[in-house]
Amino acid sequence: GSTVVKKVFIDGSGYIYAATTNGLSISTNGGATFTNKTTSNGLASNSINAVFVDGSNAIYVATTAGLSISTNGGTSFTTKTTADGIGNLSINHVYVDANGKIYASTPNGLAVNF
């Protein structure tokens, strides 16, 4: 990971997700140790702006090169880009509501449910 942390998210299980300038750091033990996820795990970029985890434990990672999503605890990621309807590759923040609707803020506006 990196000591430069942009955002932090704590899920219902107490897992800590830190959006850093060098990947997504995840702690499953209250912050005692972290595992870092990077482009080698499928993230679109190692520069992470924000992170959100929904009720199904899917991880949504706002990067400077698209929105990366993992449904397997961060083992692997798929990425949504401008080809999927996001107005800009640089995702500033992401939120997913209780119905699974994705909101991603970008320098070119808000992308919803793309």
pLDDT of residue 3: 84
Q: Answer positive or negative: Cα dihedral of 71, 68, 51, 111.
A: negative
Tens digits of residue pLDDT in 62-73: 999 999 999 999
Rounded distance between C-alpha atoms, residue 47 and residue 33, angstroms: 20
Tens digits of residue pLDDT in 1-26: 678 999 999 999 999 999 999 999 99
Tens digits of residue pLDDT in 73-108: 999 999 999 999 999 999 999 999 999 999 999 999
Kind of pairing between the strands at 109-112 and 48-53 = unpaired
Tens digits of residue pLDDT in 36-67: 999 999 999 999 999 999 999 999 999 999 99
pLDDT of residue 33: 97
Rounded distance between C-alpha atoms, residue 104 and residue 83, angstroms: 14
Quick check: 114 pLDDT over 80? no
pTM for this prediction: 0.95
Rounded distance between C-alpha atoms, residue 73 and residue 32, angstroms: 18
